[in-house]
Homo-oligomer: A and B are copies of this chain.
């Protein structure tokens, strides 16, 4: 098979992660080794930069610069929330033709993989030879076929560390502490709070995921039980418990009621998702405990976007894998002349293999937390989930130590 000669374009789409630039560096550094790649261009702000023809020349970036960018969170090329339809993809293809772009690498989540699929199909139909590859990334960990997604382990590390700190804080000043954690549809990030536990009585004592119907009454009776036992209670709640999973964008009664009370109509975005509202919801969950259980010291934190771009809180496993999926995408394209999505498969405990999947198996699908990872009562995760996540968090996880001091009694000589 003769080698396909032309330019390569790489772009980054969707929400940033702590390691998305590792994938960029992995792909760019590898692409620069292949003589048939005439230039390596980066599109600014994802597919938007393709149709706007705002490209930068990544052939002329120093290796040192790329290596330092690799260690920097957030998408160095810029990202986009644009979700191209057929017409948009047609414009992308027009730009590819114009500049003799023959290789397209898109680092992103579900929407980005779908873009790769549509652009690839258009090229096929028109007989324009193009390699189109999807490089996975998402802190949400919700891409099917993959064991896990680059970006998730570092965000999970942030959540586990952050929650360990919150729980230690709560042990020092006992009360109820609620952390609202990102994850509209799938509970992967919220579940990561479970890795904060070391001692039997460490929190999170309760974990609520969007995979299970949320009930405020159940939430209150759970907290009441834990609080009676330990004199304190820490809770991890996915922001997604407030949205239904049916995709109709209907708010559950609690949030609809809250929105009415503050005079706001639930906002629904272009994808039919309710505009989530972490801050006010954290306040609402706090208020419910104060009023419903009469507990005075109730606090809440919203992790917000912090975990997807916090510099320095990175899993080395994640950084390495993100680098490798970028590099592997180039291998599949340049050595094997294949299209698709690079996927991570787990083997043993713990190693990974990379494979190439049909992008149709990835695109626009959501992988929820499977039943075996959710405790029967729906308010915790299982040991199976903890075993799944632990190796992903990487080396050097902080270990919170307790004083091992016996109760004091005066010695005879004291």
Interface residues of A, Cβ cutoff 8 Å to B: 7, 12, 15-16, 38-39, 41-42, 45, 55-58, 60-62, 65-66, 68-69, 71-81, 99-100, 161-162, 164-166, 168-169, 171-173, 177, 261-264, 277-283, 287, 299-306, 308-313, 396, 398-411, 413-414
Contacts and interface: CB of A to CB of B under 8 A. Distances in A.
Give the oligomeric copy count. Answer: 2
B65 A401 contact: yes
Nearest to A5: B414
A173 B100 contact: no
Which of A15, A55, A57, A402: most chain B CB closer than 10 A? A57
Contacts of A261: 262-263
A100 to B, nearest CB: 7
A57 B165 contact: no
A311 B78 contact: no
Contact of A306 (B72, B73, B100, B301): B301
A300 to B, nearest CB: 7
Q: Enumerate the 9 nearest inter-chain pairs by beta-carbon distance, A residue then B residue, closest first.
A: A279-B279, A301-B304, A311-B398, A165-B309, A74-B168, A38-B414, A56-B405, A55-B408, A68-B401
A300 B304 contact: yes
Given A165-B311, A168-B73, A282-B279, A173 B15 contact: yes
Contact of A301 (B65, B302, B405): B302
Contacts of A400: 72-74, 311
Nearest to A66: B403
A62 B404 contact: yes
A204 to B, nearest CB: 15
Contacts of A75: 172-173
13 contacts: A12-B172, A39-B411, A55-B408, A56-B403, A60-B405, A65-B403, A68-B401, A69-B403, A75-B173, A78-B172, A279-B283, A301-B302, A312-B398
A58 B405 contact: yes
Contact of A309 (B12, B166, B263): B166
Which of A7, A263, A305, A409: most chain B CB closer than 10 A? A305
B406 A57 contact: yes
A139 to B, nearest CB: 11
Given A56-B408, A57-B405, A72-B400, 9 more contacts: A16-B169, A56-B405, A57-B408, A74-B168, A76-B402, A161-B310, A162-B306, A162-B310, A280-B283
A238 B60 CA distance: 42
A219 to B, nearest CB: 17
Contacts of A39: 408, 410-411, 414
